[in-house]
Structure formats: structure tokens, C-alpha cells
Chain A
Amino acid sequence: DAGVIQSPRHEVTEMGQEVTLRCKPISGHDYLFWYRQTMMRGLELLIYFNNNVPIDDSGMPEDRFSAKMPNASFSTLKIQPSEPRDSAVYFCASSLRERVTDTQYFGPGTRLTVL
């Protein structure tokens, strides 16, 4: 299996622009997670899905952030409008069935820079 796939790997944009990050989970995994990692705050869970349904979005920082999972093989995280403080590495992860506490497999991340 190719593992979790994320695109783009790097994104540089200007403040106010819309940013869309994409993720393809490992086939057969029922859970999908979006994280953000910064030096100051470490790795933080933003939102997670089970069978394409958002379960907990309490980590989403504000209304500028939204996430969707239209099918089992694709998810997006959108920031509109983007701000410099959104600069971070965004990871997508997926885990197998049954328990939300199972091992998570991370994608390579998207390094976002907002100027």
C-alpha cells in the first residue's frame, strides 16, 4: 500500500487566500484525522472522521477552517481566508477499523506558509 497520501507537500500563499489541503487515507481504514504541528504548540488534533462522518471537530481553531470527507478515499482541509498564524505543517493520518484508539498512520504532511 502507498500509505497516506497528502498534497500538496508544500504550499506558499498570501494572507487572505483560500488554501485547500488534500488527503487520501490508506485503503480500508475507517478513521481519518487532521493534525497541525507547530513549534509552539506541538501536534494538535483538528478534526477526525469515522466512515466519512465528522465525529469531533473541537480542535478546529475557528470558522476559517473546514474539513470534508466526501468518500472513503478522499478528504480536504480548507482554510479561508488564510492568515500568517496558520503557517504550520498539516498532517493527515488514518487508522484501521474498530477502535478509534488504534494505531494511526501519518501522511508526509503539507508544509503551509502564509505570507
Chain B
Amino acid sequence: RKEVEQDPGPFNVPEGATVAFNCTYSNSASQSFFWYRQDCRKEPKLLMSVYSSGNEDGRFTAQLNRASQYISLLIRDSKLSDSATYLCVVNNLGSSASKIIFGSGTRLSIRP
């Protein structure tokens, strides 16, 4: 089992749709979680940190479920500009696990 697994995608949805991604992680002691987005041939950029209480930023909502060891990202009212690859990140650096693992990414394509 991979340490971090994401929905394989690609997701192809119409503009205005709601889309959700999940990401599972294997290390139950993991503490820090993020969603990054990466546009084609560009660097990853932070989209959101993921907190135990969940967090929302405009059309984006991230949630953490420790019991089931997954994080999720919900995008409401999707825009053409949301088309990108979304990377789930579990950062255990500084702990005994001492790893930062990037998921393989989920490709999202928003069509007009």
C-alpha cells in the first residue's frame, strides 16, 4: 500500500459543478496535511492547509478524518481556472517517520 494515495482521475466536469477528491494516508501518527495545486509545467503552489476541524476558503473546503485516515478537498461552483493537478501532501518531517510524501496527484479538467 502506498503511503499516500489519491483518486487517480482525471476528473472532467462542467463549469459550475461541485467536485470532491479524497486522499488516504497510511501513517496514523501523521500530523500535517496540505493540498497543493500544480498547473501544467509549473511549480506546486499551496492551496490549503488541512486542519482537524476542517477549513474553508471561498469555494474550497478541506477536511481531515483521522479515524479513517483520509483528507478531502471539495470545490464548489468550479471555474475553468480550477483546471490543474491537485496534490495531497502529508508532512511528517521532524517526527520519527521523518518523511514528506506527495500524492501522485489528481487531474481536474473543467469544461465550459
Binding site for B on A (CB under 8 A): 42-45, 48, 56, 58, 91, 99-101, 103-109
Contact = CB atoms under 8 A, between A and B. Distances in A.
A70 B14 CA distance: 50
B64 to A, nearest CB: 14
B43 A42 contact: no
Contacts of A106: 43-45
Interface residues on B, range: 20 to 34
B39 to A, nearest CB: 11
A56 B98 CA distance: 8
A100 B34 contact: no
Interface string B75-112: 00000000000010001111000111011110000000
B46 A43 contact: no
B12 to A, nearest CB: 20
Given A101-B32, A101-B93, A106-B43, 20 more contacts: A42-B104, A42-B105, A43-B87, A43-B102, A44-B102, A45-B99, A45-B100, A56-B93, A56-B98, A58-B98, A100-B91, A100-B94, A101-B91, A101-B92, A101-B94, A103-B49, A106-B45, A107-B43, A108-B43, A109-B43
